[in-house]
Amino acid sequence: MILGPHVDFIVAAYAVTVFVVVALMAWVILDYLAQRRILGDLEERGVTRHSGRAGKVER
Amino acid sequence: MAVIDLANPTRFLAVVNRVLPWLMAATILAFAFGLARVMYAPDDYQQGATVKIMFLHVPAAWLGMMGWGVMTVAALGTLVWRHPLADVAGKAAAPIGAAFTFICLVTGSLWGRPMWGTYWVWDARLTSVLVLFLLYLGVLALYWTAEDPGRGSRAAAILALVGAVNIPIIKFSVEWWNTLHQPASIIRSGGSAIDPSILMPLLIMAGAFTLLFFTLHLAAMRNEILRRRVRSMRLMQASRA
């Protein structure tokens, strides 16, 4: 695969896209882990929701 | 399970937990297949190898607009039916749509410099996409800075509905005004103007990016439902103290 005289622009476009997509994925994964951890802490302290009293919180 | 059952956040979470691994696997496979096709796609007779930027730019542009479409439908659900899951869907779609619109703008600029001789022109297509990005930032600001989440959601939903006017402007800007940006070359009367050797990898990449969008959107919706549970549990805790 030869990218010709404009290789810098092509590589920069792919680099920016990969960076943004990886940042989005990291945000979603880290946010999920954070929310699960906080929910776990609250449950351990015996805090429940109105609708969650009958059973454990679905995660 | 009926579709209406998905309107219940707990049932929705159960479905998301089952569907997400399959959606992730499909996304990875689609990208592997698409990128392999991109590597072996021939250079364009005018653009040369810079056509490879189009395999990112075009799907990102579509998803930037689709994200706003998702937010518009969600806004109707929020304002008309006041369904909490609609608000969750709108809030989760905003950062993802903004990210794809940003990718569209940056990759377009990086393509424009070698092809047009400039990173940016204030033509109708480029400007209307920039307006879309600024609208996304406005919606995100409303969601993230409102002290009362309910008021923030309603304000964001109204902005989403108003901003929907911009979507047909983006689509038809190249026909309504004289723009440097080329007219539609994929979806147009008379069929696509692109050779199949470039069109096929482009469509596969568009499919892969669309799968990525829905994977991220479902995962972000799950996070938002959990965040609201945390909030309600903290309020319960505070009211007991």
Please state, for a pLDDT cut of 70, what percent of chain B lies above it. Answer: 97
Specify the pLDDT at position B9: 83
Average pLDDT over residues B191-197: 83
Which of B24, B109, B214, B223 should one mutate to test binding to chain A, selecting the residue with the greatest count of A CBs within 10 A? B223
CB contacts, 8 Å: A38 with chain B? 230
Give the residue on B whose Cα is nearest the Cα of A30. Answer: B223
Render the burial of B211-220: b for 16+ CB within 10 Å, e for the rest.
Answer: bbbbbbbbbb
B2 pLDDT band, cuts 50/70/90, is: low
Between B239 and B223, whose confidence is greater?
A: B223
The tens digit of pLDDT for each residue in B111-148 reads: 999 999 999 999 999 999 999 999 999 999 999 888 77
The shortest CB-CB distance from A13 to any of B110, B212, B222 is to: B110
Given CB atoms, is B67 within the 8 Å cutoff of chain A?
A: no
How is B109-173 classified by DSSP, letter by letter?
A: HHHHHHHHS-S----HHHHHHHHHHHHHHHHHHHHHH-SSHHHHHHHHHHHHHHHTTHHHHHHHH
Which residue has 């622009």 as its token pair? A9
Domain presence at residue B11:
no
Given CB atoms, is B96 within the 8 Å cutoff of chain A?
A: yes
Specify the pLDDT at position B47: 85
Does pLDDT of B59 surpass 70? Answer: yes
AA identity, residue B171: K
Domain presence at residue B241:
no
How far is Cα B209 from Cα B214, in angstroms, rounded to an integer?
9
Specify the pLDDT at position A54: 42
Domain presence at residue B48:
yes
Specify the pLDDT at position B164: 96
The tens digit of pLDDT for each residue in B153-168 reads: 999 999 999 999 999 9
Domain presence at residue B125:
yes
CB contacts, 8 Å: B241 with chain A? none
Looking at the complex, report in whole angstroms how far the Cα of residue A53 sits from the nearest Cα belonging to chain B: 11
Does pLDDT of B179 surpass 60? Answer: yes
Looking at the complex, report in whole angstroms how far the Cα of residue A10 sits from the nearest Cα belonging to chain B: 6
- What residues make up the domain containing B49? 20-184+208-235
B48 φ, ψ to 5°? Answer: 65, -140
B73 φ, ψ to 5°? Answer: -65, -40
Q: How confident is the prediction for chain B on average, in pLDDT?
A: 92
Specify the pLDDT at position B226: 95
Domain presence at residue B71:
yes
| Interchain contact, B236 vs A50, CB within 8 Å | yes
Which residue has 């030869």 as its token pair? A2
Which residues make beta-bridge pairs with B48? B44
Residue A21 burial (CB count, 10 A)? 19
Does pLDDT of B3 surpass 80? Answer: no
| Interchain contact, A17 vs B233, CB within 8 Å | no
Specify the pLDDT at position B235: 86
CB contacts, 8 Å: A21 with chain B? 99, 103, 212
The tens digit of pLDDT for each residue in B4-57 reads: 666 788 889 999 999 999 999 999 999 999 999 999 998 888 888 999 999 999
The tens digit of pLDDT for each residue in B73-111 reads: 999 999 998 888 999 999 999 999 999 999 999 999 999
B44 φ, ψ to 5°? Answer: -75, 150
Contact A14, B54 (CB under 8 A): no
The tens digit of pLDDT for each residue in A3-59 reads: 788 899 999 999 999 999 999 999 999 999 999 999 999 988 887 776 654 444 444
Quote the Cα angle for A18-A24-A26, to 5°: 100
Number of domains comprising chain B = 1
pTM of the model: 0.91
Domain presence at residue B41:
yes
